Chain A
């Protein structure tokens, strides 16, 4: 009995140390952020390059859709988040960061690109992926606890149905007579889309190399360009075979959650816009 009692207590003691330490670490690791201090991470310069078909896109300029509409884009913004490098074996190495890409931003490069700096380990990869949208947890957290690029002043927050607009595409059809405005603001968790770039099909492995840059963060190493082709956004409407925004049609708009069919279509089209240009 004595030994049993002592053993039991000893077990309790050991258990509580283990359990206690586990709690200590699991509950508090967020505070220490070892990723930031790791010396082995390289800067990856990701450039989002806006296009309309083969032409570089500029807000305010006229472009012709495949349906024959002349349109002008006035706003083109989206969240990119949950970046990851896809390893050769198909596993993923997560990269920190959430970006509000804004092609109306004054910070665009001289070529009109929106540039994002990510941190990742050097190596050969199959490619890169990210989501268009805001991760579930951050999408529903109390907005007053969040800061840029999220938060109440991001211009992307819907307070009456807490969550973020994942992308905004605004503009007008300018072909005939009075211009007709369109305004697509789309969000909600089920419309978060994963974009996979570079060769991720079959067994074909692209030489996607993140190289050591000896501490340089200049724009000569590890520069990768993603084409964002807004002409694809207008190719497929809710009705099969019908494009978004045809001539003379009433103004189309989505608001975060609806109308459902149109919002679903805009999200599907948006995911078609991305392609890999490479280095």
Chain B
């Protein structure tokens, strides 16, 4: 091939690549804003944690996360300015609620205990019955729910337009200061994906620090991860959850859990397995907050549950001795990430 021939070919190839390039870029602009590479948020992932998967149309940036954090801690999101996301997801409780069930505007009482948001970006579904697939779609649930924030989205947008710090925050996050409900829910979701917790005594022990766990906690670890306690079947893997739905033998109430979504009889009384990370600080326990302490929880499982007709086959009397129960408790307490409970990048930016 002579030089001229080669040059022609290269020119033809370049031209075709440019055309392809034009076709691609012009389309991606229609789909959504893709932030420049250098602005993308870098997640501080603990060792052994998988990558956070973001939706293609909501990649996180520092500015978007910062806006989301401001929204998360802002009571303007509720009709009467009384409730923020953080009102039921308290950082010192690993972003869970110490109340049995959530309390919304005008002291309206919900039916569920607000779960911890630790590592929520890894969840395959949201809410206790798992009906919502993305954090973006979840974010609007408490905003418009009459027993939670009871807010009209148009009212919310108008209200935020009158709060001057938001103009700069939205501009930094989205390129201009237009405030929309879509940008609000997407920014909240982006912040929530940064709520990552994985620096516990248990993690340190896993990485080779042999003194990070007490002898009792180590014995508890063996109960937890073997058929003795059988906890790991549902609370396994790096985030101590299988991310699916089980009936753990709680006595029946009106709340039929997963059945609400599927209308499938075998789903009656099933709820999503929660993470056990930071479980020591997320009392009360279960979807309806019916159990006040970890001792009560261990009792529940040790007794083989309350005898729900749809109990998971794994739920059975365990006959753990008192010492074994204490060991298990100590192991659960080794799952607390102390730094996470006060980390500045996750705390209230308005203070």
Contacts and interface: CB of A to CB of B under 8 A. Distances in A.
A40 interface: no
- Name the prevailing secondary structure of the B interface residues: helix
B173 interface: no
Contact of B23 (A6, A24, A144, A145): A24
A162 interface: yes
A24 B140 contact: no
Contact of B16 (A13, A31, A144, A258): A13
B163 interface: no
B154 A153 contact: yes
Nearest to B32: A145
Contact of B1 (A5, A142, A257): A5
A258 B260 contact: yes
Contacts of A136: none
A206 interface: no
Given A16-B17, A153-B154, A142 B185 contact: yes
A141 to B, nearest CB: 9
A16 B16 contact: yes
Contact of B26 (A24, A143, A151): A24
Contacts of A160: 127, 129, 131-132, 141, 260
Contacts of B53: none
A247 interface: no
Nearest to A257: B263
Interface string B222-236: 000000000000000
Q: Interface residues of B toward A: which range?
A: 35 or more
A244 B20 CA distance: 60
Contacts of B83: none
A6 B259 CA distance: 63
B134 interface: yes
Nearest to B261: A161
A262 to B, nearest CB: 11
B182 interface: yes
Chain B CB within 10 A, most for which of A12, A143, A144, A157: A144
B161 to A, nearest CB: 16
A260 to B, nearest CB: 4
Interface in B247-297: 259-263
Contacts of A17: 16, 19
Given A13-B12, A13-B13, A28 B185 contact: no
B137 A162 contact: yes
Given A2-B5, A9-B9, A9-B12, A144 B136 contact: yes
A144 B140 contact: yes
Given A20-B16, A23-B24, A28-B27, A159 B1 contact: no
Interface residues of A, number: 36
Interface in A1-37: 1-2, 5-6, 9-10, 12-13, 15-17, 19-21, 23-24, 27-28, 30-31
B325 interface: no
Interface string B10-54: 001101110110111011001000000000000000000000000
A128 B63 CA distance: 50
Interface in B32-90: none
Contact of B263 (A13, A23, A28, A259): A259
A179 interface: no
A142 B16 CA distance: 36
B209 interface: no
B182 A162 contact: no
Nearest to A30: B30
Given A2-B5, A16-B19, A17-B16, A28 B26 contact: yes
A28 B30 contact: yes
A258 to B, nearest CB: 4
B237 interface: no
B133 interface: yes
A56 interface: no
B177 to A, nearest CB: 18
B20 A20 contact: yes
B140 A9 contact: no
Nearest to B265: A260
A75 B19 CA distance: 55
B153 interface: yes
Interface string B152-187: 111000000000000000000000000011101110
B185 A144 contact: yes
Contacts of A144: 136-137, 139-140, 153, 180-182, 184-186
Contacts of A10: 12
A237 interface: no
Given A152-B181, A160-B127, A160-B129, 17 more contacts: A5-B9, A6-B9, A12-B12, A13-B16, A17-B16, A27-B30, A143-B137, A144-B136, A144-B139, A144-B186, A153-B153, A153-B154, A159-B132, A159-B137, A160-B260, A257-B260, A258-B260
25 contacts: A9-B13, A13-B12, A16-B17, A20-B22, A23-B20, A23-B24, A24-B22, A27-B27, A28-B26, A31-B30, A142-B137, A142-B182, A144-B153, A144-B182, A144-B185, A152-B140, A152-B143, A152-B144, A152-B181, A153-B152, A160-B132, A161-B131, A162-B131, A162-B133, A162-B137
Interface of B: 1, 5, 8-9, 12-13, 15-17, 19-20, 22-24, 26-27, 30, 127, 129, 131-134, 136-137, 139-141, 143-145, 152-154, 180-182, 184-186, 259-263
Closest 3 CB pairs of A and B: A27-B27, A16-B16, A161-B131
